[in-house]
Amino acid sequence: MKNFQRLIQSQGRFAASSAFVRPSRLGFASAGQFRFSSNHSASLEEINTKYNDFFSTVQDQFELQRGLNNCFAYDIVPSSDVIEQAIRAARRVNDFPTAVRIFEGIKVKLPSKEQYAAYLKELKPVCEELGISMKEDLFH
């Protein structure tokens, strides 16, 4: 066991001394010198408007899935209006699996089952209109 620990320690010193070179010695700027974000944070209304408009004009599957990835990347749950537009976009581009998976994304994002049930209740008429079943209903 001691030999193994010595081997790991010696490898760690070797790796630290030879493999890692400071970026300034290579002529590159260090990561601390770059600024990748602004101080502006979008409000909930701005995000909802942005994605409502986006999903209402989506015309292909790639754009739909890219928009969903971006929309669900925020630390908020999209409004039911945004979800409705996303579901309609999924059916418009004939992507039934994505329409079902949108609800899986909502379920993961919401902290409680009651909130998920409220979303389902709100969106039930749209799901019935478009012929979308929930994952739980499909596999019973």
pLDDT tens profile 58-100: 999 999 999 999 999 988 889 999 999 999 999 999 999 999 9
3 state SS for 105-137: HHHHHCCCHHHHHHHHHHHHHHHHHHCCCCHHH
Confidence of residue 8 (pLDDT cuts 50, 70, 90): very low
Q: Is the pLDDT of residue 126 over 90?
A: yes
Q: Is the pLDDT of residue 16 over 80?
A: no
Domain covering 44-138: architecture: Alpha Horseshoe (1.25)
CA angle, 25 then 29 then 33, to 5° = 135
- Specify the pTM: 0.68
DSSP state of 75: S
Q: Could you give the CA distance from residue 87 to residue 71 in angstroms, rounded to a whole number?
A: 13
**Tokens coding 57:** 């004009």
CB 87 within 8 A of CB 56: no
Q: What's the rounded mean pLDDT across residues 100-125?
A: 92
Highest-confidence range of 22-31, 82-91, 103-112, 126-135, by mean pLDDT? 82-91
